Structure 1
Amino acid sequence: MDRTERSIRVLPYGDRALLVEVAGRAEAEAVRAALERTPLHGQRELVPGARTVLVVLDRAPSELDDAAVRRLPTSPGAAGPGGARVELAVAFDGPDLAEVADLTGRTAAELVEVLTAVELTVAFGGFAPGFGYLTGLPPELHVPRRATPRTRVPAGSLGLAGPYAGIYPRASPGGWQLVGRTDRVLFDVDRDPPALLAPGTVVRLRAVG
């Protein structure tokens, strides 16, 4: 079941999963959204990545699954309507706010205006439980990671790095540019689902304070 068609590669992954490899982030999002709308028979879980989607089944995959996956839409914009919507209240007082504003040729107030005007989407999770990689930043807000990572970033910190925004669910080391913070709990094992920002979730930022 190793096939390549329309930039989709489908590989068996253990005895109860398929790994779908595509050209990039937008294609992976289109595949994830299509499989959420129309799941494969016995589909248990989807685990999206930057260029992959892991499809976990409750049975062994078949040639029919391979064929169905290769017919899925992969064009950017084919993901369709977003999933759940979450608004996050953010205090834009991060230690890197002024530096990021300068890097993007804006004042701090103008930077906040752009960040609160765009819709962000959780493309995939990683780094730590509850950490969602948010896409949708305009290209002019793509800034590099810090040259020297911090040894401790407080929980709830909103950071920017490259094409992504992200919020640290717990205190940890990190090298993203910190522009704000939120009090929302992003990961709670007693909540169903535990992660507030699951893949496909649409996020809006609201300035407070």
Structure 2
Amino acid sequence: MLVEVDSLDEVDAVRAALAEADLPGLVELVPAARTVLAAFQPGSGGLARVKPLLDTIDLTKRVRTEPREVVIPVHYDGPDLDLVAETAGTDVDGVVALHTGAEYKVAFSGFAPGFGYLVGLPRELRQPRLENPRKRVEPGSVAIAGEFTGVYPTASPGGWRLIGRTDVTLFDSRREPAALLAPGDVVRFEAVR
């Protein structure tokens, strides 16, 4: 079942309520920017219990959980760092201070395995994607686009503005869990030289 809502806060409320409901046969919950996908084992009966549950969720209530904190060290030397500074009306040190001074939350994962869309980016750093996406972005690239910041877990094309890089492995299929970041996690970035 795909549940559509109007905001990231509502996504969080729906995801939390479905996760806590002990629905029979629930295989996976996949939050996104404005949706939550609930996948069930066929014939489990869990799907039939979702609709009545959705009618009881207070979408205005902020979800309070004990989040896991992840600290990601970053070398702030990305190819778009000067562009970001100019667009933000500051200098490189200002970009680093703004990016490291914020606390982020993993709103949802997607695009590539292990890619967490992190909200909490300071307004000054909110910038559009590049007009011409790169054909290849290196794994570990720390980037911003719109209201989000994130780290590319693998090499891929990408249009986000690159401000730095990390040596942290965001996705490893041999690790449990394979993805370092999960929805609800709190993330902080630390500058390293």
TM-score computed with the length of structure 1 as normaliser:
0.85
Residue 67, structure 1, aligned to residue 76, structure 2: no
Aligned equivalent of 1:143? 127
Cα separation, 1, equivalents of 2:139 and 2:149: 15
May I ask how many residue pairs the two structures share in their alignment?
Answer: 191
Among candidates 12, 30, 39, match of residue 56 of structure 1: 39
Aligned equivalent of 1:188? 172
Aligned equivalent of 2:147? 163
Instruction: Say which SS state the counterpart of residue 30 (structure 1) adopts.
Output: helix
Cα separation, 2, equivalents of 1:143 and 1:37: 36
Q: Deviations over 1:103-152 (max 9, x none)?
A: 11111111111111111111111111111111111222210111111111
Aligned equivalent of 2:13? 30
Contact 1:187–1:195 under 8 Å retained in 2: yes
Aligned equivalent of 2:4? 21
Identity %: 48
Aligned equivalent of 2:162? 178
Unaligned runs of 5+ in 1: 1-17
Unaligned runs of 5+ in 2: none
Which stretches of structure 1, 4 residues or longer, exceed 6 Å deviation after superposition? none
Give the AA of the match of 1:202.
V
Among candidates 80, 85, 93, match of residue 101 of structure 1: 85
Contact 2:25–2:45 under 8 Å retained in 1: no
Alignment CA distance shift 1:149-1:120 (3 Å): same
Aligned equivalent of 1:15? none
Contact 1:156–1:184 under 8 Å retained in 2: yes
Instruction: Say which SS state the counterpart of residue 113 (structure 1) adopts.
Output: helix
TM-score computed with the length of structure 2 as normaliser:
0.92
**How far off is 1:74 after superposition?**
1.4
Aligned CA-pair RMSD: 1.6
